[in-house]
Amino acid sequence: MQRGQIIQSLSGFYDVNSEGKTYRTRARGNFRKQKISPLVGDWVEFERQETGEGYILKIASRKNQLVRPPLANIDQAVVVTACVQPDFSTNLLDRQLVTLEEKHIRPIIYFTKGDLTPVTKRAALTQVAEDYRKIGYEVYLDWQAFLPSSIAALKADFSEQLTIFMGQTGAGKSTLLNQIDSNLKLQTGDVSQALNRGKHTTRKVTLFSIGNGLVADTPGFSSYTVFEMQLKELKNLFPEIEKTGINCRFRECLHINEPNCAVKAAVEAGHIRQSRYDNYVQFFNLIKAQKPDYERKGYSKKGRK
């Protein structure tokens, strides 16, 4: 029996890297009965067959996982965000950041298409980048396409990490990865002017070895539809709201309608970005309106674990 990590999943086959070699495997039958599906990023134990194929026998516990994209054991995520084509959206960016915070995945924000951005829009985007840096996020924003110094700094972050690339379709994830490692030659697509969305060009999830780490190129997406966190957890997934919230009058303040709320005061004073608070309120209401997914959360039909 050998131990390795799944680096690619395609049509029921799982490519597992073990001690520098890659083995093509299948999942054993009882995984399906247990409703367990191997994910790219999983550490597994597998057995090689004389035919050359192997069978996954055991999946190690995951430290985290994402459903979209389907990945496990992620250390950090590069959130690729276009300045234009498609237009920048604080709402979409914050949806992604909240999802990553909930999964304990370190976000890195990388703005693309700065060279295509009209001069009239650059001051506002510069302020956006600075506001997110103040929160504590690592942010890349250059008006020159793929500035070599930024590419080198980003690549240095990959060492001994499993890094995913994610972001709105058409933002340029595959193009950025091709700039980081020209040997990848990933397929890229044009942005549809009619839909203001990119064509889906990434068809599978694969881990590539880059910069002494593993990097995933993942299918694009336009939005998240379901928040997995509980309502009371949301406020702690906005770092600046969590930090400011300790000064609220009420310990369990949700920063919505409560009096003497330090967070709302900070928004009014300009210390917390208005769009961040607006998105927090929107996400709060979305979670409140969601029907509970008992199967995902591990509840019985009576609502008990």
Task: Pick out the residues of the known binding site.
Answer: 112-115, 167-175, 248, 253, 255, 261
- Which residues are documented as binding site for Zn(2+)? 248, 253, 255, 261
> What single letter denotes the amino acid at residue 223?
S
Q: What are the backbone angles phi and psi of residue 7, rounded to the nearest 5°? A: -115, -10
Distance in angstroms (rounded) separating the CA atoms of residues 110 and 118: 18
Distance in angstroms (rounded) separating the CA atoms of residues 305 and 299: 4
Q: Under DSSP, is residue 197 helix (H, G, I), strand (E, B) or coil?
A: strand
Contact 247, 262 (CB under 8 A): yes
- Which residues are documented as binding site for GTP? 112-115, 167-175
Distance in angstroms (rounded) separating the CA atoms of residues 112 and 218: 17
- H or E segment to which residue 25 belongs: strand 21-27
Where do runs of H (alpha helix) occur along the chain? Answer: 30-33, 90-102, 119-135, 148-156, 173-180, 239-245, 262-268, 274-289, 294-297
> What single letter denotes the amino acid at residue 135?
I
Quote the Cα angle for 34-27-31, to 5°.
5
Contact 205, 8 (CB under 8 A): yes
Whole-angstrom CA distances from 199 to 112, 186, 191, 275 are 17, 14, 6, 28
Strand partners, 56: 27, 46
- H or E segment to which residue 2 belongs: strand 2-10
CB atoms within 10 A of CB 89: 16
Q: Under DSSP, is residue 100 helix (H, G, I), strand (E, B) or coil?
A: helix
